[in-house]
Amino acid sequence: MSALTDLDIAAAREALATGACSAEELTNAYLEAIDGAKALNAYITVLPGKAIEMAKESDARRRAGEVGALEGIPLGIKDLFCTEGVLTTAASHILDGFTPSYESTVTRNLWDAGAVLLGKTSMDEFAMGSSNETSFYGPVRNPWRASGSDAALVPGGSSGGSSAAVAAHLCAGATGTDTGGSIRQPAALTGTVGLKPTYGRCSRWGEIAFASSLDQAGPMTRSVRDAAIMLGAMAGYDAKDSTSIDTPVPDYEAALEGGVKGLTIGVPEEYRVEGMPEEIEYLWRRGVEWLEEQGAKVKSVRLPRTKYALPTYYILAPAEASSNLARYDGVRYGLRVPGDDITAMYKNTRAQGFGTEVKRRILIGTYVLSAGYYDAYYLKAQQVRTLIAQDFQEAFESVDLILTPTSPEPAFGIGAKTGDPLTMYLNDVFTVPASLAGLPGISVPGGLSATGLPLGLQLIGRAFDEETVLRGAYALERAAGFTAKPDPWWRA
Amino acid sequence: MSVDAATVRRIAALARIAITDDDVPPLVGELNQILDWVDHLSEVDTHGVAPMVCGTDRTARLRADDVTEGGQATDILRNAPDAREGHFTVPKVVE
């Protein structure tokens, strides 16, 4: 008999609808799986009592005939979303003990749709990282290991707890947030699906801010259909987020079967970066063939400013972060480290409360915003951002979707890149451009590397055209037939 | 452009982050490595280009100018490391 935790969201929805299992049974199965997967370190906080209580309420609603889009579905929530009455840390020491008295809009929407909260997943501290190694709560281990090796690999980041939990079946689906690739890159490294919606599609209210002009929440799931189901529940206008856009939420699941016949897919030559492994090139070509075989037209497109995207991002994101993280001052929440006077208290609190990468980015951000450097760095980067967005606009005049690899390499070893920040930053080379342009992007597992590790393909779409992105992703998923699962070495 | 030890100390002071003498040399190296790399942007001609200040070019919906929240002092103070008598506390700033 297969385990209840083997059911993805769509299958669990069916099992719950037919009465094959209850939300309480399903939730118990996940809590047991989480308990047996401590070696992965995917969750910062597990909430058995709350989860069972929510599951029982869901079962009661179902008996009363009220069935939401995610009724009874157990989810992991990235610890960047504020959850009422539940410890919320952003994986930072500086938020020790922080227990919000309010619920983020995205998680509120999920609970309103009937979902169950299993716990809060780990992440890079304040979402700054591509490997989940900057978490105050220690690195998360990727459920996948290279063939014949037991070396621990990173699950990607910053939503690495969510990606590991989805890949290891420690939740039916999870939330992530993406500022420069933090949903898509960890999805690629764990053989899961990660969708970053258009900027403004999901409310940022109650999501701890990193870089406010880039941050966007999205689903991390085992399948494209599950991503469509979850996005439908997460998205929507919210008066509490001034950048939330008031546009209807379509039926994303209904869009899946549309197929790619008649669509034109763009392949940007600029993404063929130096030193890219042949197996990534090969997968990209396979992706093109898969879409062509299903009736799509494929053409080459130019995105000439691509190579400036990462430097632009590493000015804008730290600048916004230095401003957003000014609020952690030892006065209003979390850690306070005493000092001789108020300034010393601020400085000591922030020195001990923030980790190395967060401090590095705050310092860079403070520098590029400081008097005399603002125009040369910050304004310049905002102007280049305009040009990068224009490149996409021009490309989307002749194509419906853009196909690229998600990440330049498969999962790497824990500790392999921590010594050199720039090497780590390069992991987001394919995901950052769409973030700067505010466009939706999805990562779909395409195959395995020679070492037996998952590789992802990315589709980027027009603003607020998640339906076409999901149609394309569904076609890729069907053609790729990716069914590989990691060997459950972590099971206690 | 590059930073020296004095600049690193100045930006750390602006950012209100305590750093030790031992922290300075590695930070000078790391920040210069990152700044050298972002300096590639100087190649791009941005003359007359408007800065992109937000992630979307759509116009936000305006809400009514009404007071919708308030009176939540207890909730707001709940997470403070040291709150007393309805206030946040800080070390003494006035002698």
Domains of chain B: which residue ranges? 5-42
pLDDT at res. A1 = 42
Give the rounded distance of the alpha carbon of B33 from its chain centre: 21
Is residue A122 annotated as part of the catalytic site, yes or no? no
pLDDT in tens, A450-468: 999 999 999 999 999 999 9
| Residue in the block written with tokens 């690899």 | A405
Lowest mean pLDDT among A17-26, A63-72, A411-420: A411-420
Nearest to A332 among B3, B35, B88 (CB): B88
Q: Which residue of B has its CA nearest to A242?
A: B60
Q: How far apart are CA A339 and CA B28, in angstroms?
A: 26
**Any chain A CB within 8 A of the CB of B24?**
no
pLDDT at res. A283 = 97
> In tens digits, what is the pLDDT along chain B, a chain of 95 residues?
689 999 999 999 999 999 999 999 999 999 999 999 999 999 999 999 999 998 888 888 888 889 988 899 999 999 999 999 999 999 988 87
pLDDT at res. A84 = 98
Is residue A182 annotated as part of the catalytic site, yes or no? yes
DSSP string, A434-447: HHHHT--EEEEEEE
Answer whether residue A145 shows pLDDT above 60.
yes
Summary mean pLDDT of chain A: 97
**B5-42 sits in which CATH class?**
mainly alpha
Q: Sort strands A173-178 and A74-78 into parallel, antiparallel or unpaired.
A: parallel
- Tell me the H-state helices in A113-214: 160-167, 184-190
Residues of A in contact with B60 (CB under 8 A): 242-245
The mean pLDDT of A58-64, rounded to a whole number, is 98
Pseudo-torsion of CA A27, A32, A34, A35, nearest 10°?
140
How many Cβ contacts (< 8 angstroms) between chains A and B? Answer: 174
Nearest to B51 among A329, A373, A386 (CB): A386
What's the longest Cα–Cα distance across chain A?
Answer: 70
A341 pLDDT tier (thresholds 50, 70, 90)? very high
The answer to whether the Cβ–Cβ distance between A363 and B27 falls below 8 Å is yes
Non-local CB neighbours of B21 within 8 Å, separated by 6+ positions: none
pLDDT at res. B1 = 65
Q: How far apart are CA A216 and CA A180, in angstroms?
A: 10
Q: How far apart are CA A222 and CA A227, in angstroms?
A: 8
Phi, psi of A178 (to 5 degrees): -135, 120
The 3-state DSSP class for residue A186 equals helix
- Tell me the H-state helices in A257-408: 278-293, 309-324, 342-353, 356-369, 374, 380-395
Min Cα–Cα distance to chain B from A177, Å: 15
The answer to whether the Cβ–Cβ distance between A344 and B42 falls below 8 Å is no
| Residue in the block written with tokens 């979303």 | A81
Lowest mean pLDDT among A64-78, A362-376, B61-75: B61-75
The answer to whether the Cβ–Cβ distance between A347 and B41 falls below 8 Å is no
Answer whether residue A492 shows pLDDT above 80.
no
Q: What is the CATH number of domain A4-262?
A: 3.90.1300.10
- Tell me the H-state helices in A335-465: 342-353, 356-369, 374, 380-395, 421-425, 432-437
Question: A475 near A442, Cβ under 8 Å?
Answer: no
pLDDT at res. A2 = 67
Sketch the domain layout of chain A as residue ranges: 4-262
pLDDT at res. A268 = 98
The mean pLDDT of A92-103, rounded to a whole number, is 97
| Residue in the block written with tokens 């063929």 | A272
Q: Which residue of A204, A242, A384 is the best one to mutate when testing the B interface, meaning the one whose CB has the most B CBs within 10 A?
A: A384
pLDDT at res. A196 = 98
Catalytic site residue from A22, A58, A78, A417: A78
pTM for the model: 0.97
pLDDT in tens, A422-449: 888 888 999 999 999 999 999 999 999 9
pLDDT in tens, A377-420: 999 999 999 999 999 999 999 999 999 999 999 999 999 998 88
Catalytic site residue from A182, A203, A223, A407: A182
Rounded (10°) angle between helices A105-112 and A224-234 = 110
